[in-house]
Structure 1
Amino acid sequence: MQVIEATVGNPVDVRLRISVAATLFERIRGLLGRPSPKRGEGLLIRKCKTVHTIGMAYPIDVVYLDRDWCVVGVAHSVRPGCVRAPTPPRRSGVVQVLELADREAAWIGLMPGSRLRTTFGESSSANNDTWSRA
């Protein structure tokens, strides 16, 4: 799985390891069957507007991103067994979602209008496997 590095402009630095679900199988699976992300970990699901937590054992935060990597919306503490999509009119701009541990988005300070600046690295590179909040 590819790994992404990004920076979001906030006053405190936070480093996160973000795996990218790019293939159909990776996008369908998401975090299903995996342990809850630890603080500082997440999963980016490309070509996605709606997520579900059916079959999951823990709540997650869902961050909706547009094509320019701007946060369009955040669903906090989505419980297992739910389906979540951004509310209109935001839905039309969403092209990918970032799944984080429960309450992680608030801890990081992600909110509508936050923008991620991204560079892509190889998953084998120790220097390119995180994103940070500036």
Structure 2
Amino acid sequence: MVIEKENQQVQIPIQIEKADKFVSRFTGLMFRKKLPENKALLLVPCKSIHMFFMRFPIDVMFLDKNNRVVKIVENLRPWSLVPPVRSAHSTLELPVGAIRRHGIQVGDRVGFESLA
């Protein structure tokens, strides 16, 4: 995954799994025991998420159709939810702490080399 900031690109060693079918989007990370530090889940399309039946917190980035970050939610806890984000087209669920660790901000653009 590459984060494009104003004048630079930052390579982040995270493997992205894509969920773009109804069942994979609905299930998401539910019932998993954890999200490894080098993994993330991209939900397409997705404007809101819930944390029902989750066992661990996550960081979340909402992306527009150009993969620009339009909203960030850090340390989202199990059994919570994020209401629809009007300008979002997809959602990237990351290990908790990833957004802060990599300095990701609203306005950054996310580039995906290859998706699982």
TM bin (shorter chain) = 0.7 to 0.9
What is the SS of the residue equivalent to 1:44? Answer: strand
Question: Highest CA radius of gyration, 1 or 2?
Answer: 1
Q: Which residue of 1 aligns with 2:24?
A: 26
Higher helix share: 1
2:104 partner letter: L
Distance 1:118 1:57 in 2: 27
**Which of 113, 118, 124 is 2:112 aligned to?**
118
- Indicate if the aligned counterparts of 2:32 and 2:55 stay in contact, CA closer than 8 A: no
Instruction: Name the count of aligned residue pairs.
Output: 113
Give SS of 2:86's match.
helix
RMSD: 1.7
Instruction: Measure how far apart 1:45 and its partner are.
Output: 0.3
SS of the residue corresponding to residue 20 of structure 1 reads strand
Aligned to 1:14: 12
TM-score (norm 1): 0.77
Kindly indicate whether structure 1 or structure 2 has the higher relative contact order, using CA contacts under 8 Å at least 6 residues apart. 1
Asked if the contact 2:72–2:106 (Cα under 8 Å) also holds between the matched residues in 1, the reply is yes
- Return the alpha-carbon distance in structure 1 between the equivalents of residues 83 and 100 of structure 2: 18
What letter is aligned with 1:8? I
Q: For structure 1, which runs of at least 5 residues remain unmatched after alignment? A: 1-5, 124-134
Counterpart in 2 of 1:129? none
SS across alignment from 2:55: coil
Runs of 4+ aligned structure 1 residues displaced above 6 Å come to none
The percentage of aligned residue pairs carrying the same residue is 27
Q: Which residue of 1 aligns with 2:86?
A: 92
Q: Structure 2 CA distance, aligned partners of 1:117 and 1:13?
A: 9
| Residue 34 of structure 2 corresponds to residue 40 of structure 1 | no
TM-score normalised by structure 2 residue count: 0.87
Any gaps of 5 or more consecutive residues in structure 2?
none
CA shift, 1:116, in A, is 1.3
